[in-house]
Structures are given as structure tokens and as C-alpha cells.
Amino acid sequence: MGAIAAGIAAGLAAVGAGVGNGLVIGHTIDGMARQPEMSGTLRGTMFVGVGLIEALPILAIVIAFLVMNK
């Protein structure tokens, strides 16, 4: 049962991170197209946002391994 829960947790975290990254990157590209002079600031903010979004699946994988090993 723990392996099923771990698989579901990891899968949902990966899907959520993929959707979140897609939205952030898409909106950043849209912002760069609208205001090219802000591209450096937008790019830096995007990298911080993507890093924070990627923290969720990493934590979910760790929790999934903990649940699987109990």
C-alpha cells in the first residue's frame, strides 16, 4: 500500500510542477515580448520562481520514500 501511495504522490507532484513551470515560463515569455527592456529582470525572477516550484516535487519524493519504507 505504501508503494502505491508513493507512486501517486510522486506522480501528482511531477504533474503539478510541470503545469506550474509551464505557466511561469509562458507568462515570462509573454512579459518579455510586451516589455523587452525588462527581460533581464523577468528572467531572474523566473529562475527564482522555477526553483521554488521545483522544491515541491523534491519534497514529495522524499515524503514518498519515507511512506514507502514504513
The pLDDT tens digits for 14-57 are: 999 999 999 999 999 999 999 999 999 999 999 999 999 999 89
Given this model, what pLDDT does residue 15 score? 95
Given this model, what pLDDT does residue 9 score? 87
Q: What is the pTM of this model?
A: 0.80
32: number of Cβ within 10 Å: 17
Confidence of residue 65 (pLDDT cuts 50, 70, 90): confident
Query: Contact, 50 vs 17, CB < 8 A?
Result: no
The three cell numbers of residue 16 are 503539478
